[in-house]
Amino acid sequence: MLDIRGLTASIGDKSILRGIDLVVPDGEVHAIMGPNGSGKSTLGYVLSGREDYTVTGGSVTFNGIDLLSLEPEARAAAGVFLAFQAPIELPGVNNANFLRTALNAIRRAHGESELDAMQFLKVARVETKRLSMPDDMLKRNVNVGFSGGEKKRNEVLQMALLRPKLAILDETDSGLDIDALKIVADGVNALRSPTFSALVITHHQRLLDHLVPNRVHVLAHGRIIRSGGPELARELEKTGYAGVLAEAA
């Protein structure tokens, strides 16, 4: 279970998160919506430990551990996965090698044996097939020359392989066509289990048609101003954020 209490964070002098309270029970998918600049991506970065942000107050407990005290790699080992809004390119680094290094790092942290290249490829090919990704995606350099859709699918592939306990998807649906959107949603749905939860940051109801959330939260000015069931997302799609913002003001 993810338990965020009174979380505040800033970048430089600028305070971005101004007191987030949010509980995501095991097995649930929560959607985070809200206007641009409201702090949605920052929340993802702060939870995964990006050093550009300073946590100025509050606490985050994840399955009983103090998440904020851990290095990013230790958070990853604890099961936190961030699907990047703009996945990073690693020139010259083969995607399969990258994924295997990451998977083995996580396996090592769990005291599991590492996979050799052959074992890894076997596992990886099952996932690429399921995600309708061409096999050569594993041979190419990490995100280099990938289309927007390929980059997002590569994030979902990583998530499928690393099997996180908490997945944070930062606008993974943006820029995707309907088919790709469905693949992303299926990728998350396939992981759904009583020990998996997800925070889905999105602007669009259409992702939530395929990936039905337990709860929807609206983030504005660094605070959650409204929470509700899946119907809240449909309401926002119709009325925009203006109504909710005015109500909260």
Partner 1 sequence: MSATAEILDSVQSSYKWGFETDIEMDLAPKGLNEDIIRLISARKEEPLWMLEYRLKAFAAWLKMEEPDWARVDHPPIDYQDLHYYAAPKKKAGPKSLDEVDPELLKMYEKLGIPLKERAILAGVEPDPNERPQIAVDAVFDSVSVATTFRETLSKVGVIFCPISEAVRDHPDLVREYLGSVVPVADNYFSALNAAVFTDGSFVYIPKGVRCPMELSTYFRINARNTGQFERTLIIAEAGAHVSYLEGCTAPQRDENQLHAAVVELIAMDDATIKYSTVQNWYPGDADGKGGIYNFVTKRGACRGDRSKISWTQVETGSAITWKYPSCVLIGEDSVGEFYSVAVTTNHQQADTGTKMIHVGKGSSSTIVSKGISAGKSNNTYRGLVRILPSAAGARNHTQCDSLLIGDECGAHTVPYIESRNRTAKVEHEATTSKIAEDQLFYCRQRGLSEEDAVNLIVNGFCKEVLKELPMEFAVEAQKLLAVSLEGSVG
Q: Which residues bind partner 1 (CB under 8 A)?
A: 48-52, 71-73, 75-77, 81-82, 84, 87-88, 90-94, 97-98, 101-103, 105-106, 109, 141, 158, 162
Residue 21 or 116: the one with the smaller Cβ distance to partner 1 is 116
Contacts for 243 with CB less than 8 Å, ≥ 6 apart: none
Smallest distance, Å, CB 97 to partner 1?
8
Residue 101 or 214: the one with the smaller Cβ distance to partner 1 is 101
Residue 75 or 226: the one with the smaller Cβ distance to partner 1 is 75
Smallest distance, Å, CB 143 to partner 1?
9
Smallest distance, Å, CB 178 to partner 1?
28
Instruction: Tell me the C-alpha distance between 62 and 164, whole Å.
Output: 12
Smallest distance, Å, CB 136 to partner 1?
17
Residue 52 or 136: the one with the smaller Cβ distance to partner 1 is 52
